[in-house]
Structure 1
Amino acid sequence: MSTPEASTPDFVSALGRGLAVLECFGPGREKQTLTQVAALTGLSRGTARRFLLTLAALDYLASDGKLFWLTPRVLRFSHGYLASFGRAEVVKPVIQAVSEQLNESCSMAVLDGAEVVYIARVEARRVYSSRIDVGSRLPAHASSLGRVLLAGLAEDALDAWLARHPPQPWTARTITDPAQLRARIVEARRQRYAILDGELELGARSIAVPVQDATGRTVAALNIGTSAARAPLDQLRRQFLPVLRAAAAEIGPGFTGW
């Protein structure tokens, strides 16, 4: 991880570095030392220390004198973001109904750089649950949510995305050839859905559809995640797809952009 820089005179470098410090904390990095933060951000220890102590003084971080960690105050940002969509209260009941009808986990996500970010999720009732929750991130190129969201980009924006984010393998089935990946994204745009089978995790498969606002712009994606053992590919198209499309149609018109 490196601190963001920009050539524009309007870019505030100190703010960029401070946000980079906050981004050091996450799954697998819940608690960090000064040395770890400095290494992750590329900042000197002295600079990293000042940012950490400032964020602690503002109650965004807590510390025991050696380790630093996030406080619940950072949730103010996520709450404001989710509320900015409009009709946020509609989303949860709709995906809850989808999950109960299909007995599978249902999620909604948006595109953020090379990844999709989960903004809503209802987990199916099973003995073992996944580690995915609101705020979780997955690689866009290897997820059905990502394929659908990328399909919503204009041609030039899609080409720029592919140039910036070369696809990396997650399993032996992950599509890593840019031309082949682009063809699959274009296919998802034409079909208005995407199915992925074992590209992110062997044995896992999913189907996603776009959530479009009143202007027809793709603002999010809705998906069902399942396993190859539970759901044949034909079932995803025949049974899951109509339910997802109906849910997306219910959610989409009231969604606002950002």
Structure 2
Amino acid sequence: MKECSEALKTFLHTATVFYKCDLYEITLTSGTVLRYADYDMPITLSDGRFFSCEGPIFSRGKTKLTAKIEVDSVDVSVYAEQAEQINGMSWQQAARNGLFDNANLTLYKCFMSSPGVVVGALEWFCGYVDVGGGGGLEQEWIIKSYMQLLNVDYPTGKYYPTCPYTLYSAKCGLVRANWTTTGTITQVLSKQEIYTNLTFTDGYYDLGGAEFTGGDLSGESMSIKNSHAANGHIVFIVALDSLPAVGDTIAIYPGCARTPAACESKFNNKTHNCSTPYIPLKETITK
């Protein structure tokens, strides 16, 4: 339902001639509010909100009104010159930096008795901005209705045979720094395999990760495929960009199979494990 003032209702019922334009109110996630009028003069509403006629040019597709609960969207094209700035950058640069992502855009339809003399404005559409693309001076925005946020699976909780939480995440509860050990490379077998001075049991670092803290590869990280106790043998999931050197230092942390047994025996963290290994698998019965 569109809220309309009594003055605007009376005007629309009685006026034989009127003027109208679109007003765009953009609220960025930072709280900054931008207001523009698709008109050749600025528009000021009765509540004092000022919509500039200078700046980017907006054009939009059609909207649809229905009494049913339907998810709608509006395509909006934005044309902005390089000289037009927002937060010290051009609109094109702002879009590349994600400034408009998930911003709120409210479209108003403004009615006037004569050019610039506002009788009232109707909120026509409201949604969040999804920057679909662009090129040159043009940006293509898709304004998606907030009802799209209701399009989620319910219940939100899922049942998996292994724990759905990412290792070292907030829901997992483990802090990676507490499980990280620093070691030194003692022999380089290939770009994918090294020996270290670390002592551990077979498989302890499987599915874990390593970050080089010294040498030419300093700062590079790599996931671990296998780990073997003999000689502190580490096998990376893929080959490194270049060969490390003997004496390079690495920070290494273990991975988790995300089963209740692994969570309990390896990390003593079973209370945070959310796996459901005994949920029956889907079965199809034919007859």
Fold similarity call, TM over 0.5: no
TM-score (norm 1): 0.22
Higher helix content, 1 or 2? 1
TM-score (norm 2): 0.20
- Structure having the higher Rg: 2
